[in-house]
Amino acid sequence: MKVLFCSQPFQENKVDETYEYEYTCAKQLGLDIHLISLEQLIYQDNPLAAVKQIQPSPEKVLAIYRGWMLKPFLYQKLYDALLAKNIELINTPEKYVHCHYLPESYEVIKDFTPLSVWLHKEEIDASFENVYRILNRFGQAPIMIKDYVKSRKHDWNEACYIPDASDKEKVQQVTSRFLELQQDELNEGVVFREFVKLQFLTHHSQSNMPLSQEYRVFFLDGEPMYMANYWEEGQYDDTPPDLQPFLEVAKKIKSRFFTMDIAKLENGSWTILELGDAQVSALPEQADRCEFFTRLKRNFL
Ligand SMILES: Nc1ncnc2c1ncn2[C@@H]1O[C@H](COP(=O)(O)OP(=O)(O)O)[C@@H](O)[C@H]1O
Ligand SMILES: [Mg+2]
């Protein structure tokens, strides 16, 4: 198994600073690590140059990417360039998008996650009436918004949280502000989600958004592989969540390596907040990176 990290933008022989510690741990554990250039992939549109530091493999070999999120079409380009060298990323482009875009996996996780509806950007641009219509089902309940991948959670009141889904002015304000802030970074469209009552932990020290006991769980081939507290702030319970209620649905998710972020509701049960492709999901601040790679390695011995 190979582990591919992204390099610094203009120093292709150095790992991107954000992944330096992961890279060091993987190296110490004797994993077969390599660097790829996102600068070449994204900005130069040169996937072959992006993977030029990696030698073709005589036999097909599995690889895991650890780096920044990629738009699905770029993941596809990276996947193809590697496959031409007999190197196969753990998730096919279809599997990547399944966990990357919330609408793609919603059908699978809908009984375990807040009620969600979505509109493509074009549908919103066509008429804001489309937004009001789709929000009818939430009545006067609070909702939160995000695009198909990310929210602007640190702009909580301005571009994430809507206290009353029937308040057209507020809906218009928050959604427009969200679109404005996302600019070209917007992923496809907007997802509107029932705002569920999570057990309050603390307010984020910088953005003041309300935090709850949220955990990021990495699943590999249908089994939980590694779990860490999502936030660095606030006092989590001593006992970590029981993953039993999620094990069955995890097996239905069409991805070999994904993350499931779960949070504790006020009633004490747990809900799925989002899924992600584990190759591009950040390890939470206090995660033990060496332990993460130790477990990854163990699964591929
Ligand atoms: N449906 C929801 N109800 C209540 N709080 C939510 C809901 N969805 C997300 N949150 C809160 O908002 C934060 C950001 O949402 P999330 O979907 O994880 O977006 P991001 O991809 O930006 O992390 C979560 O960490 C959680 O605290
Ligand atoms: Mg999140």
Can you read off the two tokens belonging to residue 236?
Answer: 């989590």
Q: Is 264 in the pocket of ligand 1 (CB under 6 A)?
A: no
- The answer to whether 296 and 275 are in contact (CB under 8 A) is no
Q: Is it the case that residue 301 has pLDDT exceeding 80?
A: no
Which residues of the chain form CATH 3.30.470?
99-103+197-299
- Atom of ligand 1 minimally distant from the CA of 149: 21
Q: Is 190 in the pocket of ligand 1 (CB under 6 A)?
A: no
- Atom of ligand 1 minimally distant from the CA of 102: 17
- Ligand at shortest distance from the CA of 150: 1
In a mutational test of the pocket of ligand 1, which residue from 118, 151, 181, 236 has the highest number of ligand atoms less than 8 Å from its CB?
A: 151
User: Using CA positions, which residue lies closest to atom 10 of ligand 1?
Assistant: 273
Which residues of the chain form CATH 3.30.1490?
115-194
Fold of 99-103+197-299: D-amino Acid Aminotransferase; Chain A, domain 1 (3.30.470)
**Res 234: pLDDT:** 92
Can you read off the two tokens belonging to residue 269?
Answer: 């049960």
Q: Is it the case that residue 140 has pLDDT exceeding 90?
A: yes
The Å distance, Cα 145 to ligand 1 centre, comes to 9
Question: Distance between CA 284 and CA 206 in Å, rounded?
Answer: 17
Query: What mean pLDDT is predicted for residues 100-109?
Result: 98
User: Using CA positions, which residue lies closest to atom 13 of ligand 1?
Assistant: 153
Alpha helices, H only, 115-214: 121-126, 129-135, 156-159, 168-182
Q: Please state which of the four CATH numbers 1.20.120, 3.30.1490, 3.40.50, 1.10.10 is assigned to the domain occupying 115-194.
A: 3.30.1490
Averaged confidence pLDDT in the chain: 97
- Atom of ligand 1 minimally distant from the CA of 151: 22
pLDDT-derived band at 238, boundaries 50, 70, 90: confident
Query: What mean pLDDT is predicted for residues 132-161?
Result: 97
Name the DSSP letter for residue 211: E
- Ligand at shortest distance from the CA of 146: 1
The Å distance, Cα 19 to ligand 1 centre, comes to 24
pLDDT-derived band at 165, boundaries 50, 70, 90: very high
Residue range 14-70, pLDDT digits in tens: 999 999 999 999 999 999 999 999 999 999 999 999 999 999 999 999 999 999 999
Q: Is 2 in the pocket of ligand 1 (CB under 6 A)?
A: no
- The answer to whether 197 and 210 are in contact (CB under 8 A) is no
Q: Is it the case that residue 177 has pLDDT exceeding 80?
A: yes
Phi, psi values for residue 80, rounded to 5°: -65, -40
The Å distance, Cα 194 to ligand 1 centre, comes to 11
